[in-house]
């Protein structure tokens, strides 16, 4: 009886370990936007009005996870399984506008897609324009 219990515990442990490793690697995969979005031009000119609109959306929808200045240090960041990322780093700032648009709309893992909460494409572009101001 003890042997069966030990074997069961060992299988559960190994299974949990494998699951943890697999999900950990999935979170580390690069988040690439489809080509269609990589080539997509921002439809909204960057100006003070657009950036203000984007900031208002940021405060409402993004700041709790990504933080006030986009460094991934929002009040909910510690509750996430995946890192929210630091938007002020060159790796984010070098991404095409269309890539950021795609990621906002579609989401991945802990990052929800916002196509229903922010259905107007112009608002998403305003948010992209605001993200561009989050440079270190």
Query: Residue 5's domain spans which residues?
Result: 1-30
The mean pLDDT value for 95-114 works out to 97
pLDDT tens for residues 4-21?
666 656 555 554 545 544
Q: Are residues 26 and 56 in the same domain?
A: no
CA distance 95 to 82: 20
Residue 24 pLDDT more than 80?
no
Instruction: Kindly state the helix (H) or strand (E) to which residue 91 belongs, with its residue range.
Output: helix 90-93
Residues 120 and 62 in one domain: yes
Among 73, 76, 131, residue whose Cα is nearest residue 102: 131
Total structural domains within the chain: 2
| Overall average pLDDT of the 46-52 stretch | 98
How many whole angstroms separate alpha carbon 122 and alpha carbon 126? Answer: 6
Is residue 136 in some structural domain? no
Q: Are residues 102 and 124 in the same domain?
A: yes
**What is the CATH classification number for the domain harbouring 113?**
1.10.760.10
Asked, for residue 123, whether it belongs to a domain, the answer is yes
Q: What is the pLDDT of residue 62?
A: 97
Q: In this structure, are 58 and 97 located in the same domain?
A: yes
Alpha carbons 85 and 74: distance in angstroms, whole number = 11
Residues 63 and 75: their CA atoms lie apart, in Å, by 8
Residues 56 and 112 in one domain: yes
Q: Say yes or no: 17 and 74 in one domain.
A: no
Distance in angstroms (rounded) separating the CA atoms of residues 68 and 53: 15
Average pLDDT over residues 78-106: 96
């Amino acid at each position: 009886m003890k042997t069966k219990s030990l074997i069961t515990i060992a299988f559960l442990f190994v299974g949990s370990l494998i699951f943890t490793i697999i999900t950990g690697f999935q979170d580390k995969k690069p988040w690439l936007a489809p080509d269609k979005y990589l080539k997509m031009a921002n439809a909204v000119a960057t100006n003070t009005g657009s950036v203000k609109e984007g900031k208002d959306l940021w405060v409402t929808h993004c700041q709790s996870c990504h933080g006030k200045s986009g460094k991934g240090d929002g009040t909910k960041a510690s509750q996430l399984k995946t890192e929210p990322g630091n938007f002020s780093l060159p790796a984010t700032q070098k991404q095409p506008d269309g890539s950021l648009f795609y990621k906002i709309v579609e989401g991945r893992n802990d990052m929800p897609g916002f196509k229903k909460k922010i259905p107007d494409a112009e608002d998403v572009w305003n948010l992209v324009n605001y993200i561009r101001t989050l440079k270190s």
